[in-house]
């Protein structure tokens, strides 16, 4: 009945790649428990081993340093709670006490909320300011690091604005004081090439569903020797570091996508061309639109816009009714009247955040889709602004 919408919300999740879809019927046969000894465990075991190995090669780490889990929220929780428990006052490891954390103020809720939990447990957390341009305040980090700092956590790239943060510089600062570094690499993985060896981080989190694979599957990189305490205790899976029978289907779907890692560079360039075209055309054809963090290094697929005079929620619904799936930082049905904490953290006013629209392109985005979107966006914004103007005049 309804035709498929044009999907421009790849930072939220990605559609399954056709290769994943094609492979799925075969993968469904590998239902055996990889921990078993009998024949049926063999294929699942192979999937685990091969996927881990290919990913480790790509990330330039050891297979032993990768832990499969349920996704990046679990990974982020595991890292922050591991480090806290390893160094907290009264820790059971005879470690020196380090109760301070430095965390960027624009992290994903799975980092921010976990940090707030650690505060309730007695940790001291410093939230690093990010400027309106999207720049992380490295001076702030320099000022806050001390012998009490246990961990610095900073995402590779922000989900809403697409800004890419200088992880290597953070690592440099941290290493001088023997501080651990974690990076939530969810948005970067599959969009730009990187490896953990080059970044120099101690922990990194990745999620399969942001890279055209299934939901419910993530990978946590833990550098050898870094503190690690199970979040999920249980069987001997993942070398007893993460209990629970493995999500073989999810891991296998990620495995399928790993065959396409070599395309990342070309896709990144192609998406940059389309994204820049999109932004150029929007600014040219629609008055009073601003692109957030345009001066900053950004993921090439992401565009965060402030369209003044238009409520983001209404724009989102209008576009959805016309068959375009995008996202907003406006206060939506979240149960919270507050708009996006990320946009507020970079210094946007509530009103600006309320007028925000996020467009994130992906590997299946076509030029025609972008052109169609541009036409519809222009029409919709003009129409909504007109209604708002009459309302303002009449009241």
Partner 1 sequence: MIDQIKRKKVLVAMSGGVDSSVAAALLKDQGYEVVGATMQVWDYTQCDITEGNGTCCSSLDVDDARSVADNLEIPFYVLNCEAKFKASVIDPFINAYLNGQTPLPCVNCNTYLKFDHLVKKMKELECDYLATGHYAQIVQNAHGQYQIKTSEDDWKDQTYFLFTIQPEIVEKLIFPIGHLKKADVRKIAEDKKLVVAQKKDSQGICFVGNKGYDQFLTEHVSQNILKTKKGYLKRYPSNEIMAKHEGIHLYTIGQSKGLGMTYHEKLFVLKIDPLDNTVWVGEEKYLYHDEVDVVEPHILSDFNNGDTLNVKIRYQHKGSLAQVFKTEAGYKLKFNEPQRAITPGQAAVFYTQDKVLLGGGWIKI
Q: Which residues are catalytic?
A: 332
Whether 108 contacts 101, CB under 8 Å: no
340 contributes a contact to partner 1 by CB under 8 A: no
Closest approach, Cβ 322 to partner 1, in A, equals: 9
**Pairing mode, if any, of strands 149-153 and 203-207?**
unpaired
392 binds partner 1 (CB under 8 A): no
> In this structure, how many other beta carbons lie within 10 angstroms of the beta carbon of residue 333?
6
- Pick from 334, 351, 364, 366: which binds partner 1 (CB under 8 A)? 334
Residues 110-129, interacting with partner 1 (CB under 8 A)? none
- Shortest CB 389 distance to partner 1, Å: 12
Cβ-contact 154, 297 below 8 angstroms: no
Identified binder of partner 1 from the candidate list 39, 266, 368, 391, rule CB under 8 A:
391
In contact, 175 and 373? CB cutoff 8 Å: no
Establish if 60 lies at the interface with partner 1 (CB under 8 A): no
- Binding-site residue total for partner 1 (CB under 8 A)? 19
Q: Which of residues 274-313 bind partner 1 (CB under 8 A)?
A: 313
Helix (H) or strand (E) holding 7: strand 6-7
Cα–Cα nearest to 14, from 263, 210, 258: 210
- Using CB under 8 A, which of the segments 37-45, 158-166, 185-193, 335-343 binds partner 1? 335-343
- 198 is an interface residue for partner 1 by CB under 8 A: no
Q: Residue 331 interacts with partner 1 (CB under 8 A)?
A: yes
Q: Is the distance from CB of 330 to CB of 344 less than 8 angstroms?
A: no
Q: Decide: is 333 part of the binding site for partner 1 (CB under 8 A).
A: yes
Compute the least distance from the CB of residue 395 to partner 1, in Å.
10
Cα–Cα dist 153/284, whole Å: 38
Which residue stretch of 39-47, 165-173, 218-226, 334-342 sits at the interface with partner 1 (rule: CB under 8 A)?
334-342
- 53 — alpha (psi -120 to 50), left (phi > 0) or beta? alpha
When the beta carbons of 260 and 322 are compared against partner 1, the nearer one is 322
Kindly identify the residues of this chain, within the stretch 10-49, that bind partner 1 according to CB under 8 A.
none
Per CB under 8 A, 314 contacts partner 1: yes
Is the dihedral angle over the CA atoms 12, 15, 19, 21 positive or is it negative? positive
Of 257, 233, 251, residue with least CA distance to 243: 233
Q: In terms of CB distance, is 138 or 384 closer to partner 1? A: 384
88, 389, 391 from 85: Cα distances, Å: 5, 56, 56
Q: What is the DSSP letter of 96?
A: P
Q: Which of residues 368-387 bind partner 1 (CB under 8 A)?
A: 383-384, 387
Nearer to partner 1, 332 or 344 (CB): 332
Residue 341 in the binding site for partner 1 (CB under 8 A): no
CB of 114 to partner 1, least distance (A): 20
Binding of partner 1 at residue 317 (CB under 8 A)?
A: yes
Contacts of 194 (CB under 8 A, 6+ apart): 156, 185, 188
How many CA atoms lie less than 13 Å away from 136 in the CB half-sphere? 30
Of the candidate residues 295, 320, 367, 375, the single one contacting partner 1 (CB under 8 A): 320
CB of 12 to partner 1, least distance (A): 16
In this structure, the strands spanning 149-153 and 100-104 are parallel
Q: Rg of the chain's alpha carbons, rounded to an integer? A: 22
Footprint of partner 1 on this chain (CB under 8 A)? 1, 313-314, 317-318, 320-321, 330-337, 383-384, 387, 391
């Amino acid at each position: 009945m309804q035709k498929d919408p044009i999907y421009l919300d790849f930072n939220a999740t990605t559609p399954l790649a056709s290769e994943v879809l094609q492979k799925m019927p075969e993968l469904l046969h590998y239902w055996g428990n990889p921990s078993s000894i009998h024949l049926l465990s063999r294929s699942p075991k192979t999937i685990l081993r091969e996927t881990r190995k290919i990913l480790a090669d790509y990330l330039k780490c050891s297979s032993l340093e990768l832990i499969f889990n349920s996704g990046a929220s679990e990974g982020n929780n595991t890292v922050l709670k591991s480090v806290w428990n390893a160094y907290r006052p009264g820790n059971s490891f005879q470690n020196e006490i380090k109760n301070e954390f430095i965390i960027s103020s624009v992290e994903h809720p799975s980092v921010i909320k976990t940090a707030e939990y650690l505060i309730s447990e007695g940790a001291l957390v410093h939230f690093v300011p990010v400027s309106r341009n999207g720049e992380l305040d490295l001076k702030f980090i320099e000022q806050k690091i001390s012998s009490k700092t246990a961990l610095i956590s900073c995402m590779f790239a922000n989900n809403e604005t697409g800004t890419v943060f200088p992880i290597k510089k953070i690592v440099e600062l941290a290493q001088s004081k023997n501080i651990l570094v974690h990076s939530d690499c969810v948005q970067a993985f599959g969009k730009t090439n990187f490896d953990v060896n080059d970044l120099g981080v101690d922990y990194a989190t990745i999620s399969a569903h942001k890279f055209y694979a299934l939901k419910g599957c993530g990978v946590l990189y833990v550098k050898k020797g870094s503190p690690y305490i199970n979040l999920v205790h249980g069987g001997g899976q993942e070398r007893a570091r993460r209990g629970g029978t493995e999500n073989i289907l999810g891991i296998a779907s990620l495995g399928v996508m790993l065959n396409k890692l070599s395309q990342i560079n070309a896709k990144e360039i192609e998406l940059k061309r389309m994204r820049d075209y999109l932004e150029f055309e929007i600014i040219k054809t629609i008055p009073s639109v601003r692109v957030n963090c345009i001066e900053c290094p950004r993921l090439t697929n992401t565009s965060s816009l402030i369209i003044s005079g238009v409520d983001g929620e209404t724009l989102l619904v209008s576009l959805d009714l016309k068959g375009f799936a995008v996202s907003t930082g406006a206060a939506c049905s979240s149960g919270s009247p507050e708009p996006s904490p990320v946009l507020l953290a970079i210094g946007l006013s509530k009103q600006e955040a309320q007028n925000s629209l996020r467009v994130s392109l992906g590997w299946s985005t076509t030029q025609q889709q972008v052109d169609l979107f541009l036409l519809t966006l222009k029409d919709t914004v003009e129409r909504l602004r007109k209604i708002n103007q009459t309302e303002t005049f009449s009241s």
